[in-house]
């Protein structure tokens, strides 16, 4: 077993930890021997020789080595002798190369694989302290304690609160420390196999990359055309608008990127961690596609430049000298770009550095050529006349013309130019390859935008001041002075040169034209390389987050090959970019990608606005030069620009974003990134709750907020379903779990997590609460008093009926009845649900948690998909095999293993004693819901339950037949007895049932009056019902048969006991009237409601203290025995219904 290696360094703060034991900054002295005590243990991998460790740790405040020789001895990797005593832990320096065994010294070579590798411990100096002062188990603050990224593996951790509060184990062994290390942690003689990827600084990684992406195809091939159409005035406005959008976006990105460490994925990583996985994932996909499209844009620009160069210097035509030539050259170029990027980012970066130098030389060549002026008559005939104030004045105003059959305007020209600004995210996209992305991204991005915007404006002004919009290009026209006269040629049939028509105007102005072609090629290729690298990087990071199905994104992000590269993502990018290259229309591609990048910029600015508006506690960016409202304005401006550029493309872009948003929203991936939307949700909820506190409750806004005593929700699914039937989309539901034993934090946390996993798996929106170290009624009192906040707190206590009340312990019975008292005393409504089979399914259902955590065997998985339900031959008549189906919500924990997630053991005799029941349901006809139910509910051996048992468990989930819900509204409790079944009847599964209402009258002569009055009341409450029955004989004596049945029920409680019978004759006489009334109600229930889907009746009130628990439970048994699902409910005498507007 491997030992834990100490962190090494000059100023080592080594931490040796495992379980409850942490040795932090242990001070050692190499020049002064530490006094030994009787109990010693050597620092071998076999542990501390089974010696008992001390109850407390002690510091060893020894001074550091005073001389260089001692320091060298420590740095050489000396092994230390460890002594455990009752007063502390001492370490003694041994000679290098040897360790002390029990009775001998063994060579380090023999025990090297088991030694503590790199055992260098920093020494500290603390004068005036005693040698054996007690050491705290606290550790000093360390950056390793705050790392939460799943890919960061660290052997250092902060001790838990449980470890600090409780005494540590008395056996300390190096074996224990070794268990947290894997075999890959240390190889050979302490040598680490670490492969570090190439990291770039802010200049090479961000500044140059962004400048090369911005200095792309638009600078060389379209800026002159923009000047011709919009004039220099509006061209500067277009550049200013683009710069404003990109600069504010860069400021927004800088603020977010300096608010914590940035992982791989750049823009996607930032927005997904701020806005959440839904928006982050959708914009990540959009941005990846946009990068592939931008790559194709630059490749088409490269192909067009090559085509023009071949025509200029050789008249070479491959096919047609137009689109087909561009497609062929573009395809070859795409293969070249894909090959370069497939070799690795370092080759792509080196190539960009070379091209950056070429770009600078090309721009200098252009500037020099503009100063030198035209070098031949041909250049002058083509419109290059040199610097001219008159020409600058003429080119100041816009002069929009027809291009490709479309009249141009400000918006169309802006859409063509804007892709020149989209390269600002090139550096952020490779954030995983940066040494310090938090500093590099803001500095490099902002500086690149400023430099490139100035250069674009400068090139535009030079073009406007040196070249005419139109020229014939004919030297003869130059001699006649008519080379600039194109007024008779509106469509350009005579003029083929000038800013309007010559996309290579920069080459014409340049001192050496071929260098400008090379610069254009360098710009386009470098931008294509950046975009091609960005798309696979984004796909890989999105796939790693598992937001989308594997076939949609995850398949493309998988690495493979000896170089461990995402070749599938490279292939996807290649195919996608090639598809746009085949369009071979530069302006069309520019129009398409403008909306994609504007959508990205809009969400980037909105994310900064949102997080700075919400201001979560963790929002502390080191970059302060941003503005909340400016980010919002830029986001709105980006959306407006999307719509103005092209409404159809804007709609398509938004539709794609919404599609991927809905995919993530539907899948609900298991991610928690602390997004600003979570902070906003908390803030909105807190504000709403605070506002509700100061608003008086009104009957029209009454909502049944239920505390349902379920224990672990998966053990009583029918009770949970029934409570959710009332609360769904309406109100609060809390599943209460009361545990008699005192729980540790870890155990309590596991119970709650297990409960929430079940609720989420079954799509039930509710909360869970655990009360430990309490009996039933004290736990309920605590929950009712403390659960919830403000007005959002339980006002109904829902319990399950105690089926084993006649056989259970008397204390448990008293607690159950006392719990009902507790609910009334705390002024909440009380409801009791009874199913004849019981509610506790823990004896017949397997633990669903194993299924949720995917920890059940594969052969069981296959069994779940079978069309035959294999069940045990045992009877499933009752849900609980021991007859105790009481819902007391008291979870007895003999040990913590009951809440641990464990896999089901497989036995060779699992199939013995089973029978097969064929349900006649074919696989093709099973709905997703039925499959989920079949998997959810199975017996402890992993077999699916019989259909009859399944129907009883999911009785409140099924679609109900056209039958009735019978409401026995016997007392005016505020209307809760009437309201709850009305809510149930409004649910889709129960909507076809009819309400029948039963009320009592004081006498026969009052029947008609009572019926009219009740009918008027129900009509004012706007309650639809099928029948209204007024019963007048409820006070008559019950039948003898009913009395005999009741006597049989209470007979065990009349037997004499040491403390007397549980039900005395005096109590029977005192409550004879109520007993007879309940028995008569039983007869009426059997006559009227025995076939109903659900019966709801007012709960008898246990008012008197002299009423014993057995007699009260006997009343409830008389009302509910042998009946359909039955709910006894009583409100808190406060109106919950009103007929006022």
> What per-residue confidence (pLDDT) applies to 904?
35
Contact 965, 984 (CB under 8 A): yes
pLDDT of residue 933: 60
What's the whole-model pTM score? 0.68
Distances in Å between the Cα of 236 and the Cα atoms of 153, 413, 448, 464, 881 are 51, 12, 18, 11, 84
pLDDT digits over 1044-1071, tens only? Answer: 999 999 988 888 877 767 888 888 888 9
pLDDT in tens, 299-342: 988 888 888 888 877 677 777 777 888 899 999 999 988 887 77
Q: Which residues of the chain have pLDDT under 50?
A: 1-134, 150-153, 170-195, 488-493, 856-927
CA distance 577 to 575: 6
Would you report the helix, strand and coil content of the chain in percent, each value rounded to 5? 50, 10, 40
Question: b vs e for 893-920, b when ≥16 Cβ sit within 10 Å of the residue's Cβ?
Answer: beeeeebeeeebeeeeebeeeeeeeeee
Strands 1126-1130 and 829-834: antiparallel
Q: How many CB atoms lie within 10 A of CB 716?
A: 29
- Consecutive H or E run containing 1098: strand 1094-1098
Q: Are strands 829-834 and 796-800 parallel, antiparallel or unpaired?
A: parallel
**DSSP, res 206:** I
Residue 164 Cα to chain centre, angstroms: 31
CA distance 64 to 27: 8
In this predicted structure, what is the pLDDT of residue 998? 93
Asked if residue 836 lies in contact with residue 850, where contact means CB atoms within 8 angstroms, the answer is no
Q: What is the DSSP string of 275-339?
A: H-HHHHHHHHHHHHHHHHHHHHHHHHHHHHHHHHHHHHHT---SSSSSHHHHHHHHHHHHHHHHH
Say how far apart CA 396 and CA 410 lie, in whole Å.
14
Give the pLDDT confidence score for residue 483 in this predicted structure. 67
| β-sheet bridge partners, residue 80 | 93
Residue listed under structure tokens 């070749």: 567
CA distance 629 to 609: 7
User: Residue 121 has what pLDDT?
Assistant: 35
- Residue pair 549/669 in contact by the 8 Å Cβ criterion: no
Name every residue whose Cβ is closer than 8 Å to that of residue 991 and which is 6 or more positions away in sequence. Answer: 985
Determine the pLDDT at residue 96: 41
Q: What's the pLDDT at 348?
A: 64
**Average pLDDT value over all residues in the chain:** 75
pLDDT at 542: 87
3-class SS of residue 1073: helix
Kindly tell me the burial class for residue 101, based on how many C-beta atoms sit within 10 Å of its own C-beta (0-12, 13-18, 19 or more): middle
Q: Are strands 868-872 and 914-918 parallel, antiparallel or unpaired?
A: antiparallel
Q: How far apart are CA 240 and CA 220, in angstroms?
A: 19
Rounded Cα–Cα distance for residues 852 and 855 (Å): 8
């Amino acid at each position: 077993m491997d030992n834990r290696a100490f962190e090494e360094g000059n100023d080592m703060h080594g931490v040796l930890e495992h379980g409850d034991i942490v040795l932090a900054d242990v001070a050692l002295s190499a020049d002064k021997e530490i006094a030994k005590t009787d109990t010693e243990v050597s620092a071998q991998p076999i542990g501390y020789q089974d010696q008992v460790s001390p109850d407390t740790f002690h510091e060893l405040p020894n001074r550091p080595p005073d001389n260089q020789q001692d320091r060298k001895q420590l740095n050489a990797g000396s092994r230390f002798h460890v002594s455990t005593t009752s007063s502390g832990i001492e370490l003694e320096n041994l000679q290098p190369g040897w360790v002390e065994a029990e009775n001998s010294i063994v060579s380090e070579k023999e025990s090297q694989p088991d030694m503590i590798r790199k055992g260098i411990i920093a020494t500290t100096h603390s004068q005036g302290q005693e040698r054996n002062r007690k050491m705290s188990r606290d550790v000093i603050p360390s950056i390793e304690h705050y790392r939460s990224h799943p890919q960061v593996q660290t052997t250092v951790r902060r001790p838990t609160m449980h470890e600090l509060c409780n005494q540590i184990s008395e056996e300390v062994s190096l074996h224990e420390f070794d268990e947290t290390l894997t075999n890959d942690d240390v190889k050979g003689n302490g040598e680490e196999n670490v492969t570090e990827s190439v990291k770039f600084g802010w200049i090479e990684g961000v500044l140059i990359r962004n400048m090369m992406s911005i200095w792309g195809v638009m600078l060389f091939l379209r800026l002159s055309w923009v000047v011709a159409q919009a004039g220099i005035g509006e061209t500067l406005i277009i550049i200013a608008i683009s710069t404003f959008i990109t600069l504010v976006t860069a400021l927004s990105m800088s603020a977010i990127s300096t608010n914590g460490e940035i992982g791989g994925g750049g823009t996607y990583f930032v927005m997904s961690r701020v806005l959440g996985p839904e928006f982050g994932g959708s914009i990540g996909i959009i941005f990846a596609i946009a990068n592939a499209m931008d790559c194709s844009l630059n490749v088409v620009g490269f192909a067009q430049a090559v085509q023009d160069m071949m025509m200029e210097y050789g008249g070479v035509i491959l096919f047609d000298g137009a689109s087909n030539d561009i497609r062929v050259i573009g395809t070859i170029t795409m293969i070249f770009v894909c090959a370069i990027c497939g070799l690795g980012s370092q080759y792509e970066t080196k190539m960009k550095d070379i091209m950056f130098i070429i770009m600078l030389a090309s721009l200098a060549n252009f500037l020099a050529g503009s100063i030198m002026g035209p070098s031949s008559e041909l250049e002058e005939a083509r419109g290059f006349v040199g610097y001219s104030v008159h020409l600058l004045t003429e080119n100041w105003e816009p002069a929009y013309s027809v291009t490709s059959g479309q009249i141009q305007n400000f918006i169309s020209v802006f859409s063509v130019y804007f892709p020149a600004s989209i390269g600002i995210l090139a550096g952020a996209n490779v954030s995983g390859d940066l040494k310090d992305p938090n500093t590099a991204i803001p500095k490099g991005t902002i500086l690149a935008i400023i430099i490139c915007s100035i250069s674009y404006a400068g090139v535009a002004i030079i073009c406007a001041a040196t070249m005419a919009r139109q020229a014939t290009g004919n030297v003869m026209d130059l001699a006649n002075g008519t080379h600039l006269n194109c007024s008779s040629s509106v469509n350009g049939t005579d003029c083929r040169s000038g800013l309007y028509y010559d996309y290579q105007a920069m080459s014409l102005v340049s001192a050496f034209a071929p260098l400008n072609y090379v610069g254009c090629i360098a710009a386009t290729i470098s931008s294509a390389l950046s975009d091609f690298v960005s798309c696979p990087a984004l796909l890989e990071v999105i796939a790693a987050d598992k937001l989308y199905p594997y076939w949609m994104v995850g398949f493309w992000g998988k690495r493979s090959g000896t170089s461990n590269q995402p070749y599938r993502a490279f292939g996807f990018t290649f195919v996608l970019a090639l598809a746009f290259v085949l369009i071979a229309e530069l302006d069309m591609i520019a129009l398409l990608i403008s909306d994609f990048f504007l959508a990205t910029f809009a969400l980037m600015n909105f994310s900064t606005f949102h997080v700075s508006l919400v201001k979560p506690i963790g929002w502390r960016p080191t970059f302060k030069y941003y503005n909340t409202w400016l980010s919002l304005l830029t986001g709105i401006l980006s959306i407006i620009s999307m719509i103005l550029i092209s409404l159809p493309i804007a709609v398509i872009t938004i539709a794609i974003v919404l599609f991927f948003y809905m995919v993530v929203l539907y899948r609900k991936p298991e991610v928690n990134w602390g997004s600003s939307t979570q902070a906003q949700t908390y803030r909105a909820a807190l504000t709403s709750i605070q506002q509700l506190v100061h608003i008086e409750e009104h009957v029209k806004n009454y909502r049944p907020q239920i505390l349902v005593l379920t224990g672990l929700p998966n053990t009583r699914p029918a009770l949970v379903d029934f409570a959710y039937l009332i609360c769904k989309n309406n109100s609060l539901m809390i599943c209460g779990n009361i545990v008699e034993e005192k729980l540790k934090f870890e155990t309590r946390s596991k119970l709650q997590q297990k409960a929430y996993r079940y609720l989420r798996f079954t799509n039930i929106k509710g909360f869970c609460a655990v009360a430990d170290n309490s009996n039933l009624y004290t736990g309920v009192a605590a929950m009712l008093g403390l659960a919830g906040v403000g007005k959002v707190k339980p006002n109904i206590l829902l319990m399950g009926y105690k089926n084993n009340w006649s056989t259970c312990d008397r204390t448990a019975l008293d607690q159950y009845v006392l719990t009902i008292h507790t609910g009334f005393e705390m002024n909440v409504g009380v409801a009791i649900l009874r199913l004849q089979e019981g509610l506790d399914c823990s004896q017949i259902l397997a633990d669903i948690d194993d299924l949720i955590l995917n920890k059940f065997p594969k052969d069981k998985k296959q069994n779940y998909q079978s069309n035959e339900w294999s069940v045990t031959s045992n009877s499933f008549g009752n849900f609980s095999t021991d007859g105790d189906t009481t819902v007391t919500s008291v979870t007895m924990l003999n040990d913590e293993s009951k809440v641990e997630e464990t896999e089901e053991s497989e036995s060779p005799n699992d199939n013995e004693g089973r029978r097969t029941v064929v349900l006649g349901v074919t696989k093709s006809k099973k709905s997703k819901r039925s499959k989920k139910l079949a998997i959810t509910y199975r017996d402890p051996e992993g077999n699916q339950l019989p259909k009859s048992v399944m129907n009883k468990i999911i009785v409140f989930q099924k679609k109900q037949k056209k039958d009735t819900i019978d409401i026995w509204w016997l007392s005016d409790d505020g209307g809760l007895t009437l309201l709850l079944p009305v809510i149930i009847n409004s649910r889709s599964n129960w909507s076809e049932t009819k309400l029948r209402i039963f009320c009592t009258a004081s006498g026969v002569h009052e029947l008609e009056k009572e019926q009219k009055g009740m009918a008027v009341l129900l009509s004012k409450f706007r309650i639809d019902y099928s029948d209204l029955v007024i019963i007048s004989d409820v006070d008559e004596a019950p039948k003898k048969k009913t009395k005999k049945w009741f006597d049989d029920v209470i007979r065990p409680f009349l037997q004499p006991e040491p403390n007397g019978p549980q039900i005395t004759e005096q109590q029977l006489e005192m409550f004879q009237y109520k007993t007879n009334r309940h028995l008569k109600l039983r007869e009426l229930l059997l006559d009227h409601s025995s076939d109903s889907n659900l019966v709801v009746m007012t709960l008898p009130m246990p008012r008197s203290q002299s009423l014993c628990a057995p007699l009260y439970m006997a009343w409830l048994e008389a009302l509910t025995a042998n009946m359909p699902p039955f709910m006894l409910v009583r409100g808190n005498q406060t109106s919950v219904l009103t007929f006022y507007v």
